[in-house]
Amino acid sequence: MQQAIPCSIMRGGTSKGLYFLASALPTNVEQRNQLLLAVMGSPDARQIDGLGGAHPLTSKVAIVSLSQRDDADVDYLFLQVMVDKAQVSDTQNCGNILAGVGPFAIEQGLVSPGSDLTDVRIHMLNTGSNAVARVHTPNGQVNYAGEAKIDGVPGTSAPVTLDFLDIAGSSCGRLFPTGNSQDVIANVAVTCIDNGMPVVLMQASAFGLTGAESPAELEANQSLKERVEEIRLAAGYLMELGDVSTKTVPKMTLISPALKGGLLNTRSFIPHRVHEAIGVLGSVSVATACVLKGTVASDLLAQDFADGTIDIVVEHPTGQFSVAMEISGSGDINTFTVHRAALLRTARLLMRGEAMIPSSSC
Instruction: Encode pLDDT of 263-314 as tens digits.
Output: 999 999 999 999 999 999 999 999 999 999 899 999 999 888 888 989 999 9
Q: What is the mean pLDDT of residues 347-356?
A: 98
Question: How far is it, in rounded angstroms, from Cα 249 to Cα 233?
Answer: 10
Q: Which domains does the chain have, with CATH numbers?
A: 2-166+346-361 (3.10.310.10), 183-334 (3.10.310.10)
Q: What is the mean pLDDT of residues 200-219?
A: 98
Task: Return the minimum-mean-pLDDT range out of 13-22, 173-182, 328-337.
Answer: 328-337
Question: How far is it, in rounded angstroms, from Cα 270 to Cα 249?
Answer: 8
Mean pLDDT of the chain, nearest integer: 95
DSSP-H helix ranges across the chain: 29-40, 95-107, 215-219, 222-238, 280-290, 296-301
pTM of the model: 0.86
Length of the chain: 362
- pLDDT value of position 331: 67
Comparing CA positions, the residue from 102, 39, 138, 93 lying closest to residue 348 is: 102
Question: How far is it, in rounded angstroms, from Cα 170 to Cα 134?
Answer: 22
Question: How far is it, in rounded angstroms, from Cα 82 to Cα 60?
Answer: 9
Q: What is the mean pLDDT of residues 185-207?
A: 97
Question: How far is it, in rounded angstroms, from Cα 312 to Cα 193?
Answer: 16
Q: Which residues pair with 19 in a beta bridge?
A: 8, 62
Portion of the chain with pLDDT greater than 90, in percent: 89
DSSP H/E element including 180: none
> What are the residues whose beta carbons fall under 8 Å from the beta carbon of 230, sequence distance 6 or more?
186
Residue 336 has pLDDT above 90, yes or no: no
Q: How far apart are the first and last CA of the chain?
A: 11
Q: Give residue 161's identity as a one-letter amino acid code.
A: T
- pLDDT value of position 362: 66
- pLDDT value of position 115: 86
Q: Which residues pair with 120 in a beta bridge?
A: 133
Q: What is the mean pLDDT of residues 110-133?
A: 96
